[in-house]
Amino acid sequence: MDILGSNPASVAAQAQQNLRAQSATASAALDTNFDTFLTLLTTQLRHQDPLNPLESNEFTQQLVQFSGVEQSIQTNRQLESLLAVAAATSSSQAVSYIGKEVDAVSNVAELKDGEASWIFGLAEEAETATLNILDANGATVYTKEISGATGAQDFVWDGKNNDGVDQPDGFYIIDIEATNEDGEQVQYSSRITGTVTGVDFSGNVPLINLGDQTIPASDVLAVRDKAQSQPPSGT
C-alpha cells in the first residue's frame, strides 16, 4: 500500500507529544544535576586547603557552570508551560469542530447506506493507475482503472464488488497503485469528508468522531459549516 503524504499538523502534534515527554525527563535530570552541583561546590569550598585555596578563575568557571545549569532548568520549565498552553489551545480548537463538516487525512472511509467516498490525488502524472478498495482484513473487494492525471479526484463507491455483490457496511480502505512513464511508483494522498459528532480527550492527543469513525484532530485539513438543506418551496 502506498504511503500517504504526511499532514504537517499531524507531524506537529506528534512532535509536541514527544517533546513533552522529553521535557519532563530532562527537567527531572536537570534538577538532580543542579542539586549535585551545589553539593559538590559547597563541599569543595568547605574542605579546600587554606594554604592552597581555590583559584579565583577556577571558582569563576564553576559559577558560570552553576548559572548555566540554573538557566537550563528555567528554560525547560518555561518550555513545559508553553506546551501546556499549546495542548489547551488544541483541545479548545477540537471542541469547536463539533457540528462542523471537515476534510481530514485518511485512507479509511465508512460504507453506510450503500455509499463510501474519498478524495484522492496523485503526486505526479501517472502512466497507469489502479484504484483498489480493501476490507478491514486487507482483502481487495473492488478494483478499477482510473485516470493518471494529477489534481484532486472524487471517488464514490456504491459498496458493490466487481461481481456486483453488495458488501457489508463497515470501514474500507482506498489504495492506489500508480506508476509513471519510467515505471516508478507514484505516491498519492487521500482524505475524507464528514461531520464531527464528538471529541475524545482520553488519550495524549484530541480525537474527533466522524460518526463511528475516530481520527486525530490534527489530521483535519479544512473546517466549514455544514450545508443546510433547503425546505421545499411552496406552490
Q: What is the mean pLDDT of residues 123-146?
A: 96
Q: Is the pLDDT at 229 greater than 70, yes or no?
A: no
CA 110 to CA 50: how far, in whole Å? 80
Residue labelled with grid coordinates 471537515: 102
Q: In the structure, what pLDDT confidence band is assigned to residue 31 with cuts at 50, 70 and 90?
A: low
Confidence at 126, pLDDT banded by 50, 70, 90: very high
Predicted TM-score (pTM) of the model is 0.62
Q: Specify the pLDDT at position 6.
A: 38
Q: Is 39 exposed, middle or buried (0-12, 13-18, 19+ CB in 10 A)?
A: exposed
Task: State pLDDT tens for residues 77-117.
Answer: 667 666 655 555 556 677 888 999 999 999 999 999 999 99
Pick 100-224's CATH classification: 1.20.1530.20, 2.60.40.4070, 3.30.460.80, 3.40.50.150.
2.60.40.4070
235 has pLDDT over 60: no
Residues 205-217, mean pLDDT to the nearest whole number: 90
Using DSSP's 3-state secondary structure scheme, residue 48 falls into coil
Domain positions in the chain: 8-95, 100-224
Per-residue pLDDT at 120 exceeds 70: yes
